[in-house]
């Protein structure tokens, strides 16, 4: 039988081994997190801070830019995550078909965007979505539009461009999870359904999706967190302004601007950061609640 | 009508032919077992009948209709898989009723059919369980239930008992035999286990490397194998094979001499073959007689003796050939190191150098 309690020397040795990691984690993660919570109750500009109680939370409710950013973030979340998850599932099922030729090539092509350099991809997308860019030219050549769309000059189209960009970048990443899960499903299950006359759509709806549910939940949570922290694309496409007229500003971009661009308001930006934490918590909880198996186990 | 015919059926994957022209007639309500070593093409042949694999050449007829290009769901078949292939997120009830929803069966009828299948398979108390809450044997019964509710004309079983432990396998074997009696449908059953084949089949089809070696009733195959492969494959323990040479020939028999026992000669009723031919003598373990009781005696060194109670198996060596000898109620006689047995010509089989039976 293993000794239940370690003696004192072994305990010290054990702690000594994990101490470097613990110190670094504490210094660069736990301390800033706790400090940011404390900061969120501070008011004032620059280093001139004082305790303000719930003043920052009150300010949130009256801050039009924050409300804008919250709305934008939710818009991105509500449209982008389902589109991306749906596309990723579709690609995964299609690319799992053993009769498809060039499967490896397609898989690589769809996965590649998420390992591409952020700056390189942002720059390319920016030029593609320019008023005289390739997207407008193509759409005009196909007679879909009569005059070029001002992608980053119009609040609606700016959001569309950003949704397209993030979807392009992250769909392949999610697809890989689904592909891995699909390959773990026993092929006979589909063969049995085929022999029993279950139509293809029903095999997808009633067999594939339920069997992938744990993975779908996982990717949804990961994507939700990612979207709530959306910063890179917006910052790069709009030169950090979240324009036009704050129509693409996200919570993360707003935090950045509050901290580093405007007159620094560290306390208030910490409060906005904690809003994201709370939102991620609530949304993840809701997703788990929805995905919970409702069947009563006997 | 649920008879089934295969006419020169072939299957090739690229240039590799795995089913090399199978002709087979399966009668209505017959229990047919495809048996053979792994890689012999038995599962592929079953999957071709199911429609899960294309038929490269030849015809498949179910009833009298050509089914080569008919969708699997419209062939009037149901299949039970080795891995059970249950839908993991559905209860037993849902698993059995799922496909019926898409066949336009009313809810009340689905309920009725599922209840009937549950009764036959004694699954009643398990209807609301998930597959992961069932034992292997119960899962296999659910898989069978899922096939039953569709009232197929032909049941296909692909090694259904391979994932079960030995005890459960015997139990399920009896269940399947009982089911066949009760349902009165055609069953095609694939297995690599010759005991399953012998106990279940009305007709056994022995396959090797994509070719049908012999078709017949279990005892026909046992008593009268067409070649050395079937002789060795059917029966447990395996048939013993002894190398021999033809030393003389008369119109209705061959005189052979055993290669490992110079001077031991006997006449085997057979035609064909010529003096000097290398042949193989096949004798089943239970056909070795007491010394002097047959046409020739052999004295062998005993390797090991196994006493199973009613029967004993003596493992002995004849030259480099291992032999198994079955003995009943003689548990006290193996104290010594040697045993003398006899071979009876009328209970021995002769095969030529290509493994074909000489009769």
DSSP letter assigned to residue A130: S
DSSP letter assigned to residue B227: B
Element (H, E) at A135: helix A134-141
- Do the strands B278-283 and B311-318 form a parallel or antiparallel pair, or are they unpaired? unpaired
- The pLDDT of residue A294: 55
Q: Can you tell me the distance from the alpha carbon of B40 to that of B206, in angstroms, rounded to the nearest whole number?
A: 9
Same domain? For B95 and B140 the reply is yes
Q: Using an 8 Å Cβ cutoff, are B350 and B282 in contact?
A: yes
The pLDDT tens digits for B254-274 are: 999 999 888 889 999 988 888
Contact B79 A191 (CB under 8 A): yes
Token readout for B287 is 């056909």
Same domain? For B110 and B203 the reply is yes
Q: Can you tell me the distance from the alpha carbon of A49 to that of A45, in angstroms, rounded to the nearest whole number?
A: 7
Which among A80, A37, A3 is positioned nearest to A269, based on CA atoms? A37
Residue with tokens 């599932």: A89
CA angle A210, A211, A213 (to 5 degrees): 60
Provide the residue range defining the domain that includes B307.
240-358
H helices present in A229-265, as ranges: 232-237, 251-256
Same domain? For B169 and B301 the reply is no
- The pLDDT of residue B47: 94
Q: Using an 8 Å Cβ cutoff, are A173 and A116 in contact?
A: no
pLDDT band at B133; cut points 50, 70, 90: very high
Residue B160, phi then psi, degrees to nearest 5? -70, -20
Number of domains in chain B: 2
Residues of A whose CB is below 8 A from B67: none
- The pLDDT of residue A133: 85
- The pLDDT of residue A152: 81
Interface residue of A187, A188, A215, A292 to substitute, partner B, most B CBs within 10 Å: A188
Chains A, B: CB contacts under 8 A, how many? 64
Same domain? For B281 and B175 the reply is no
Residues of B with CB under 8 A from a CB of A: 50-52, 72-74, 77-79, 81-89, 91, 98-99, 102-103, 128-130, 133, 143, 146, 150
Q: Can you tell me the distance from the alpha carbon of B164 to that of B136, in angstroms, rounded to the nearest whole number?
A: 6
Residues of B whose CB is below 8 A from A207: 87
The SS3 of residue B128 is: coil
- The pLDDT of residue B1: 59
Last residue of a domain, one of B211, B233, B255: B233
For chain B, the first-to-last Cα distance in angstroms comes to 38
**Cis check: omega of the bond before B237, within 30 degrees of 0:** yes
- DSSP structure string for B61-118: EETTEE-TTS-GGGTTEEEE-TT----TTS-HHHHHHHHHHTTT--HHHHHHHHHHHH
Interface residue of B98, B152, B158 to substitute, partner A, most A CBs within 10 Å: B98
Residues of B whose CB is below 8 A from A298: 128-129, 133
Q: Can you tell me the distance from the alpha carbon of B160 to that of B176, in angstroms, rounded to the nearest whole number?
A: 10
- The pLDDT of residue A4: 60
Same domain? For B213 and B146 the reply is yes
- DSSP structure string for B281-309: EEE-GGG-EETTSSSEEEEEEEEEEEE-S
Residues of A whose CB is below 8 A from B88: 211
Q: Using an 8 Å Cβ cutoff, are B153 and B78 in contact?
A: no
For residue B253, pLDDT beyond 80: yes
Same domain? For B209 and B286 the reply is no
A213: closest chain B residue by CA: B89
Per-domain residue ranges for chain A? 57-291
Same domain? For B73 and B137 the reply is yes
- The pLDDT of residue B129: 93
For residue B334, pLDDT beyond 60: no
Strand partners, B212: B207
Residues of A whose CB is below 8 A from B78: 195-196
Last residue of a domain, one of B206, B233, B260: B233
- Across chain B, what does the average pLDDT equal? 90
Range with top average pLDDT, A53-57, B119-123, B232-236 = B232-236
Of B51, B83, B102, the CB nearest to A186: B83
| pTM for this predicted structure | 0.80
Same domain? For B102 and B248 the reply is no
CA angle B3, B9, B13 (to 5 degrees): 135
**Cis check: omega of the bond before A244, within 30 degrees of 0:** yes
The pLDDT tens digits for B142-179 are: 999 999 998 899 999 999 998 888 888 888 899 899 98
Q: Can you tell me the distance from the alpha carbon of A124 to that of A266, in angstroms, rounded to the nearest whole number?
A: 34
Residues of A whose CB is below 8 A from B125: none
Q: Can you tell me the distance from the alpha carbon of B35 to that of B199, in angstroms, rounded to the nearest whole number?
A: 12
Same domain? For B211 and B260 the reply is no
Same domain? For B132 and B150 the reply is yes
Which among B195, B223, B249 is positioned nearest to B346, based on CA atoms? B223
pLDDT band at B335; cut points 50, 70, 90: low
User: How far does CA A221 lie from the centroid of its chain?
Assistant: 8
Burial of A284: CB neighbours in 10 Å, binned 0-12, 13-18, 19+:
middle
Q: What is the residue-level pLDDT of chain A in tens, covering all 298 positions?
A: 455 677 888 889 999 999 999 999 999 999 999 988 888 888 878 777 778 787 888 888 888 888 888 888 889 889 999 999 999 999 999 998 888 888 889 888 888 888 888 888 888 888 888 888 888 889 888 888 888 888 888 888 888 888 998 999 999 999 999 999 999 999 999 999 999 999 989 999 999 999 998 899 889 888 888 888 888 888 888 877 777 787 788 888 888 888 887 777 888 888 888 988 898 899 888 888 887 765 544 3
Token readout for A9 is 């020397």
CATH number, position B210: 3.40.50.300
The pLDDT tens digits for B36-93 are: 999 899 999 999 999 999 999 999 999 888 999 999 999 989 999 999 999 999 999 9
Q: What is the CATH number of domain A57-291?
A: 1.10.3720.10
Give the distance from residue A109's alpha carbon to the nearest chain B alpha carbon, in angstroms.
Answer: 29
Same domain? For B12 and B70 the reply is yes
Tell me, letter by letter, the H, E, C secondary structure of B183-216.
Answer: HCCEEEEEECCHHHHHHHCCEEEEEECCEEEEEE
Q: Can you tell me the distance from the alpha carbon of A209 to that of A207, in angstroms, rounded to the nearest whole number?
A: 6
Contact B83 A188 (CB under 8 A): yes
The SS3 of residue A286 is: helix
Last residue of a domain, one of B233, B268, B298: B233
Same domain? For B248 and B201 the reply is no
The pLDDT tens digits for A218-264 are: 898 888 888 888 888 888 888 777 777 877 888 888 888 888 877 77
- The pLDDT of residue B19: 92
């Amino acid at each position: 039988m293993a000794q239940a309690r370690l003696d004192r020397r072994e305990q010290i040795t054990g702690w000594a081994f994990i101490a470097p990691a613990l110190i670094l984690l504490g210094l660069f993660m736990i301390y800033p997190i706790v400090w940011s919570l404390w900061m969120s109750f501070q008011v004032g500009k620059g280093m001139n801070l004082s305790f303000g109680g719930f003043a920052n939370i009150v300010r949130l409710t009256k801050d039009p830019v924050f409300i804008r950013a919250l709305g934008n973030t939710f818009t991105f979340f509500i449209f982008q995550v389902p589109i991306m998850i749906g596309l990723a599932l579709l690609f995964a099922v299609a690319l799992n078909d053993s009769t498809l030729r060039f499967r490896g090539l397609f898989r690589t092509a769809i996965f590649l965007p998420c390992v591409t350099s952020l700056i390189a991809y942002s720059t390319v997308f920016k030029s593609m979505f320019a008023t005289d860019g390739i997207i407008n030219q193509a759409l005009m050549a196909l007679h879909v539009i009569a005059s070029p769309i001002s992608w980053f000059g119009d609040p609606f189209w700016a959001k569309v461009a950003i949704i397209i960009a993030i979807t392009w970048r992250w769909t392949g990443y999610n697809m890989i999870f689904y592909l891995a899960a699909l390959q773990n499903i026993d092929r006979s299950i589909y063969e049995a359904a085929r022999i029993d006359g279950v139509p293809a759509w029903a095999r997808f709806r009633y067999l594939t999706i339920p069997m992938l549910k744990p993975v779908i939940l996982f990717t949804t949570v990961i994507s939700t967190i990612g979207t709530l922290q959306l910063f890179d694309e917006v910052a790069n496409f709009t030169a950090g302004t979240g324009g036009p007229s704050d129509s693409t500003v996200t919570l993360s971009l707003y935090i950045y601007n509050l901290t580093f661009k405007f007159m620094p308001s560290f306390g208030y930006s910490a409060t906005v950061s904690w809003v994201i934490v709370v939102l991620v918590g609530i949304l993840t909880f809701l997703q788990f609640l929805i995905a919970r198996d409702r069947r009563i186990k006997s | 009508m649920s008879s089934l015919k295969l006419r020169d059926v072939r299957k090739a994957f690229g240039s590799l032919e795995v089913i090399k022209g199978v002709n087979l007639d399966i009668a209505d309500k017959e229990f047919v077992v495809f048996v053979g070593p792994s890689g012999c093409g038995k599962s592929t042949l079953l999957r071709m009948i199911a429609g899960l694999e294309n038929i490269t050449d030849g015809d498949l007829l179910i009833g009298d209709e050509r089914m080569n290009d008919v969708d699997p769901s419209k062939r009037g078949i149901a299949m039970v898989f080795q891995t059970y292939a249950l839908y993991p997120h559905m209860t037993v009830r849902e698993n059995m009723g799922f496909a019926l929803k898409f066949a336009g069966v009313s809810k009340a009828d689905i309920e009725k059919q599922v209840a009937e299948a549950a009764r036959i398979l004694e699954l009643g108390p398990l209807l609301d369980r998930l597959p992961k809450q069932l034992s292997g044997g119960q899962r296999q019964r659910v898989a069978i239930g899922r096939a039953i509710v569709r009232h197929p004309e032909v049941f296909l079983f692909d090694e259904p008992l391979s994932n079960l432990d030995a005890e459960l396998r015997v139990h399920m074997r009896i269940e399947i035999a009982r089911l066949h009696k009760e349902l009165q449908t055609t069953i095609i059953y694939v297995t690599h286990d010759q005991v399953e084949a012998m106990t279940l089949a009305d007709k056994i089809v022995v396959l090797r490397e994509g070719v049908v070696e012999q078709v017949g009733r279990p005892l026909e195959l046992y008593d009268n194998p067409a070649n050395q492969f079937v002789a060795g494959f059917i029966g447990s323990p395996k048939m013993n094979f002894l190398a021999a040479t033809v030393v003389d020939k008369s119109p209705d028999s061959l005189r052979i001499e055993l290669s490992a026992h110079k001077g031991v000669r006997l006449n085997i009723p057979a035609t064909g073959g010529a003096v000097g031919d290398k042949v193989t003598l096949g004798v089943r373990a239970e056909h070795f007689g007491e010394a002097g009781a047959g046409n020739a005696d052999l004295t062998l060194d005993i390797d090991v003796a196994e006493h199973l109670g009613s029967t004993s198996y003596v493992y002995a060596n004849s030259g480099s050939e291992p032999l198994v000898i079955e003995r009943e109620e003689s548990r006290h006689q193996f104290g010594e190191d040697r045993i003398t047995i006899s071979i009876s010509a009328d209970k021995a089989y002769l095969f030529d150098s290509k493994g074909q039976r000489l009769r």
